[in-house]
Amino acid sequence: MKTLGQFIIERQKDFPYAKGELSRLLRDIGIAAKVINREVNKAGLANIFGYNGNTNIQGEDQKKLDVFADEQLINALTSGDECCVVASEENDSYIPVEHNISKGAKYVVLFDPLDGSSNIEYNVSIGTIFSIYRRTSESGAGQLEDCLQAGKNQVAAGYIVYGSSTMLVFTTGRGVNGFTYDPSIGEFCLSHPDIKVPEDGHIYSVNEGNYQKFPEGIKKYIKYCQEEDEPTKRPYTSRYIGSMVSDFHRNLLAGGIYIYPSYHNNPKGKIRLSYECNPLAYIIEQAGGMATDGVNRILDIKPTELHQRTPIILGSRNMVLKVMDFVEKYSQVALI
């Protein structure tokens, strides 16, 4: 049984520029994930359900566990010498790591500390998503420019799912690997080596409660998924948990597609580009899938704001291409 630590050490040779910093950074994230997992599993007993009375920069009410997870990740990432700056979905601005100014810290980490936290009270899977870049600024504390990088510049990305078992999935640009947490030894162990998403899938994940607000191309694709057609194994199965990381994880392993389009309430989309879309897009591409906003490759989008949102379509390659066909066809119809 290969542990996360052993796996990282073996792969260290793939990163001659890192000199161990990236390995330590991934280790620190793994340690924070263990602490968050412990609190998630005993949330009901420890009375850390519910809201803390504050709202985040997104205008969303913060849950107690949101704040706890955020604090754990910030503490883990800023206590070492690897990060020059971190940014979290739960904080208004980026956090420069001042004590690392003289140490040549070269990494930037952006994260969603607890994705799907609205599901906490109902014992539904939730998760943590993270994204790692090399700094672009020359020296000193990290700057906003270090955080506003296109997703294609990521050197690593991953997520942790806290569910019936706790699993860490990540990529460093050389395939995708999954590690399941074994509480008996306190280690993440390699359980899903070299994950590949099937090119075709039979699951579509979308909030159909917003169907009437969707663009016409997305509506037509959903109807396509629901039609009976034996050669293409339709109708497809609808699965929507409401935790993006959980929906993504299932579709990554089983084959499927996740869609969160723009609509009049959210004309720029709802999902955060830097904290959720970029890391998951990097993972899905490394696994053989695709991620787009309907027009552009997600990883090519250069953020202009720290908390920028975007529409997203990601998953099995052939399913994403099919959605894009519908989007292109019906956007042209709208122009006639």
Say whether pLDDT at 6 is over 50.
Answer: yes
Residue 199: Cβ-neighbour burial (10 angstroms; 0-12, 13-18, 19+): middle
Give me the mean pLDDT over the 122-151 stretch: 92
At residue 42 the predicted structure's pLDDT band, cuts being 50, 70 and 90, is confident
Give the angle 270-156-32 at the CA atoms, nearest 5°.
Answer: 80
Q: Report the CATH fold assignment for 4-192.
A: Fructose-1,6-Bisphosphatase; Chain A, domain 1 (3.30.540)
Q: What is the mean pLDDT of the chain?
A: 90
Convert the pLDDT of each residue in 214-225 to its tens digit: 999 999 999 999
Tokens read off for 159: 């997520």
Residue 148's closest CA among 162, 131, 125?
Answer: 131
- Predicted pLDDT at 19: 63
Alpha helical stretches, state H, the chain = 4-11, 21-41, 43-46, 64-78, 144-147, 216-226, 244-254, 278-286, 317-335
- Predicted pLDDT at 22: 86
- Predicted pLDDT at 54: 62
Share of the chain above pLDDT 70, in %: 90
The residue extents of the domains of the chain are 4-192, 203-335
SS3 content of the chain, % helix, strand, coil (to 5): 40, 25, 35
At residue 233 the predicted structure's pLDDT band, cuts being 50, 70 and 90, is very high
| Global confidence as pTM | 0.93
At residue 48 the predicted structure's pLDDT band, cuts being 50, 70 and 90, is low
Say whether pLDDT at 137 is over 60.
Answer: yes
- Predicted pLDDT at 120: 78
- Predicted pLDDT at 44: 57
- Predicted pLDDT at 21: 84
8 A C-beta contact, residue 111 and residue 73: yes
- Predicted pLDDT at 119: 83
At residue 99 the predicted structure's pLDDT band, cuts being 50, 70 and 90, is confident
Which long-range CB contacts under 8 A does 42-50 form with residues at least 24 apart?
43/120, 49/120, 49/121, 50/121
- Predicted pLDDT at 336: 40
Say whether pLDDT at 133 is over 80.
Answer: yes
- CATH class belonging to 203-335: alpha beta
- Predicted pLDDT at 335: 41
Between CA 241 and CA 145 the distance in angstroms is 34
